[in-house]
């Protein structure tokens, strides 16, 4: 219990630091690529613009702790107003622990599949016949087909 409280407190400090550093506000979305599932991360990038449109955001910040994922995100970021940053994995975990405690920012998504146990993304993949792309659209971004660019 004490360890969880420490994680939440440290996660809040990480959040406050990043909120200031990346100038996060309601006009930006924050996508945290966790590297747990390569396909989920790929489709999260692919549909980021659709999510931004749904959230009425004109910019995005992508965080990744894995260099390979960060490079993919950085290459993708050249397409529209998105900035990708490489951060420490421990900070991502702390930020997520804090987010699980208090949903402090409506425009943030994490691509965790196995954290916390039985999360929505994992349940969509396990309990339905949808593929990773549909799981991202439905379980992560809550997009309908009409919300997606070039579809519906």
In a domain, 149, yes or no: no
Tokens read off for 47: 């549909």
Domain assignment present for residue 135? The answer is no
- In the chain, the number of structural domains is 1
Residue 152, pLDDT score: 47
Do the domain assignments include residue 137? no
Q: State pLDDT tens for residues 57-102.
A: 999 999 999 999 998 888 877 777 899 999 999 999 999 999 988 8
- The answer to the question of residue 142 being in a domain is no
In degrees and rounded to multiples of 5, residue 85 shows phi and psi of: -130, 145
The verdict on residue 50 lying in a domain is yes
Which residue, among 139, 133, 44, has the nearest Cα to 82 in the 3D structure? 44
Whether residue 82 lies inside any domain: the answer is yes
Asked if residue 64 belongs to a domain, the reply is yes
pTM of the model: 0.89
The enclosing domain of 100 has a CATH number of: 3.40.50
Residue 106's domain comprises 2-112
Between CA 143 and CA 24 the distance in angstroms is: 22
Instruction: Give the helix ranges, DSSP H, for 25-66.
Output: 38-46, 48-54
Joined together, the tokens standing for residue 8 give: 């939440």
């Amino acid at each position: 219990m004490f360890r969880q409280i420490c994680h939440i407190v440290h996660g809040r400090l990480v959040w406050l630091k990043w909120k200031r550093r990346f100038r996060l506000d309601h006009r930006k979305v924050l996508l945290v690529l966790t590297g747990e599932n390569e396909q989920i991360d790929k489709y999260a990038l692919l549909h980021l613009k659709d999510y931004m449109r749904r959230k009425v955001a004109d910019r995005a910040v992508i965080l990744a702790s894995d260099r390979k994922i960060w490079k993919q995100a950085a290459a993708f970021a050249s397409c529209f107003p998105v900035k990708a940053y490489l951060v420490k994995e421990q900070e991502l975990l702390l930020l997520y622990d804090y987010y699980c405690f208090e949903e402090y920012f409506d425009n943030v998504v994490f691509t965790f599949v196995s954290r916390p146990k039985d999360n929505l993304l994992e349940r969509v993949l396990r309990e339905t016949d949808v593929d990773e792309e549909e799981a991202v659209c439905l379980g992560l971004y809550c997009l309908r087909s009409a919300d997606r660019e070039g579809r519906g």
